[in-house]
Chains A and B, each alone.
Chain A
Amino acid sequence: MSSNADTAQAKSRSGRLPRKRFYRARAHSNPLSDSHFPIPIGPADFDYCHHYPYFFAPGSGGRSDGDAPPRKVRFADIGCGFGGLLVGLSPLFPDTLMLGMELRDKVTEYVKERILALRASNPGHYENISVVRTNSMKYLPNYFEKGQLSKMFFLFPDPHFKEKNHRRRVISLQLLDEYAYALEVGGIIYTITDVEELGDWMRSCLEDHPLFGAVPEEELELDPVVKLLSSATEEGQKVARNGGQTFRAVYRRIKLEEE
């Protein structure tokens, strides 16, 4: 296996994109399971140098110019899959650091190789995106400080159809507390799915949660990110190919209304 990894790395460094069939993975993964992957003790322990070497050359301490404070991750793609959204967002916001979080081991490896290949063949580009293998439902606060994120993405999450598995859904009232913690006031949460029942579920969770308010349609039309939701990812493209319908819920993190 290690020789495969070496050749894969060599290939991506030369700019060749990884082939998906070498990274076969099951579509579902159990978020309840305790896997043994390393987790930072706290947001200050997140290894920025490793993920974004272009911005954090060792010794520079992440300062781009003068006394500007060190950059932090501002966009998080929860369940980033094969990285389609990150790759689509990267050129739109070249100075913003983005992190994909994915539970599946092999898929995370694929995304890593994809990003390395893109960086090699487009010098200076795609340096602002990276991926980490983790369970974001349990460990989100380990990566992000309070109010650190300005955007969070939940694209085509696992629907967990059976009633008894609803608690494994990535959007729930309980977890929205944590997403509200990580998002700054005014930050936006984007969700999309092709499963109508899940779309209703996510929309009603967001609607019911006092720390989130709907973003009006007019604003969504002006947001360049919204178009990417259905077109940038492999899942989204598949849905479009099959002529399926998508269900979107985009909400803003608001302050709790005083009584």
Chain B
Amino acid sequence: MDESAEIVSDGGHEAAAAAAIMDTDNGLVEEEKNTDVKVAPALISVHPFEKSVVVAVGSELRLFDLEGDCSVSLKDDSGGPFHSDAIRAITFGAKGRLFVSAGDDKLVKIWATSSWHCARSVSADKRVSAVAISHNGKYVAFADKFGVIWLITLDEDDANQSKVDNKAVPILGHYCSIVTRLEFSPDDRFIASSDRDFKIRITAFPKRPLKGALEIQSFCLGHKDYVSCLSFAHPLGYDHGFLFSGGGDSTVRLWDFFSGLLLATCEVGAKAELLQSTGTKDSYPPVTDLCSSFDGTIIAVAIQSLHGIVLLNCDFSDRTLSVAKVVTLEENYFPTSLASSTFTQRMWTIMGASNHLTPSTTQLPTRIRVISGYCKDRSNDNGYGPTVLEDSEVPGSQKLLSHLQGSPDVTKEDTALAAAAEAVKVSMRNMLIKKEYTLDKRELRKRNRNDRKLR
């Protein structure tokens, strides 16, 4: 019974209050509260036509406008504060017209990208773990750490703006499980949600979704550990399209999401030869993020201990997933988030973390590396190439990098970044993987249970 505490015992200062909400008729043993500092990975998101790049690290949102070649400060006059705690999910949507950010401060902020003005600020009941925008721009979905998925309606009509409720409506749920990703299918007919309990649920997204998304299309079951990332792909010539997923079991899988059938599995950790021995167990590191080209033939994968990314080839007719290339970046660079623009064939990667141990006066450092040409160029015979761009070759170069990386001289930040990477690893592991206790420890924890009847 005490094990439910681990869902919230990621050590945040509000752990006591949050844990109390979860399970108050237990005497919770807060043994790990102080050693686990809650650390969130740095995130990067790119406008579909590469008009702008956004980085979220800790509670900061940093934005660079590539069209205007300048950094932009976000405008927020919807009344509420900017994010006051770690941002956990960001995404562009509706063909780049909208941008959403949400996280541990229980706020979902919806930004109009034309003016970078915060159009809506919605408060959530619990900390938000995933967000998605419908492709038609009408809805924003977000999921909380308790497994409930909520929907916000965006009304285009200004006349109705004042009447529109700032409340979100729950539409479906993964029972008591942290939802790790949310994605709308390219035609908005389905919404995919993945969770910490190895499951992916595909639900039909109805025309009037506010009454709930109750028709489950399928469950994609096959992962042997938490599912960390999802991406839809709709190559030409196929009715329904496909889904890619990556997980804590170090695999990337291809699904026919309409039927829930697992079509192919690629053991990326094994293929990239990343075997690790931790104590008595041998395991491969988890997949942290993935990004697919629009037609789904190339998938870029970030794995926790790999200083680089793995590029996979997907053949839909053969139903195979194979490693095309491992792009290696410098020794201590472990990407925490990926974003791509199929339009320019550039893959943006970032490394960094929110880290409460560093003094709050300095900005949190991040490091960005860009890979160009990641989609296969069949017409080019002499090694198509994903090439890693030098800092000077990155679009926006120094201006962009100094604004988004948060520190003028990144080489000094190497140790801070390495420490941050390690902290993120531990934090993710604690949040998403069930703790296993020895028999003795379990008995000890049971003794602290506080639900005995008084005689």
Contacts and interface: CB of A to CB of B under 8 A. Distances in A.
Asked if chains A and B come from one complex, the reply is yes
Interface of A: 30-36, 41-42, 137-139, 141-142, 146, 164, 173-178, 180-181, 209-211, 256, 259
Given A32-B176, A174-B175, A181 B216 contact: yes
A34 B434 contact: yes
Interface string B178-218: 00000000000000000001110101000110011011101
B23 interface: yes
B199 A175 contact: no
Contacts of A139: 197
Contacts of B172: 174, 177
A142 B219 CA distance: 9
B395 interface: no
B221 A141 contact: yes
25 contacts: A30-B1, A32-B4, A33-B2, A34-B6, A34-B434, A137-B176, A141-B219, A142-B221, A146-B216, A146-B260, A164-B24, A173-B212, A174-B148, A174-B170, A175-B175, A177-B212, A177-B215, A180-B215, A180-B216, A181-B219, A209-B214, A210-B212, A210-B214, A211-B214, A259-B207
B13 interface: no
Interface residues of B, number: 35
B447 to A, nearest CB: 15
A41 B253 CA distance: 14
A25 B24 CA distance: 22
A35 B3 contact: yes
Contact of A36 (B170, B173, B218, B436): B436
The 5 closest A-B pairs by CB, nearest first: A42-B221, A174-B173, A181-B216, A141-B219, A30-B1
A228 B212 CA distance: 34
A256 B6 CA distance: 38
A35 B2 CA distance: 10
Given A32-B23, A175-B175, A41 B3 contact: no
B22 interface: yes
Interface string B19-40: 0001110000000000000000
A167 to B, nearest CB: 8
A232 to B, nearest CB: 28
A31 B447 CA distance: 20
Contacts of B173: 174, 177
A184 to B, nearest CB: 14
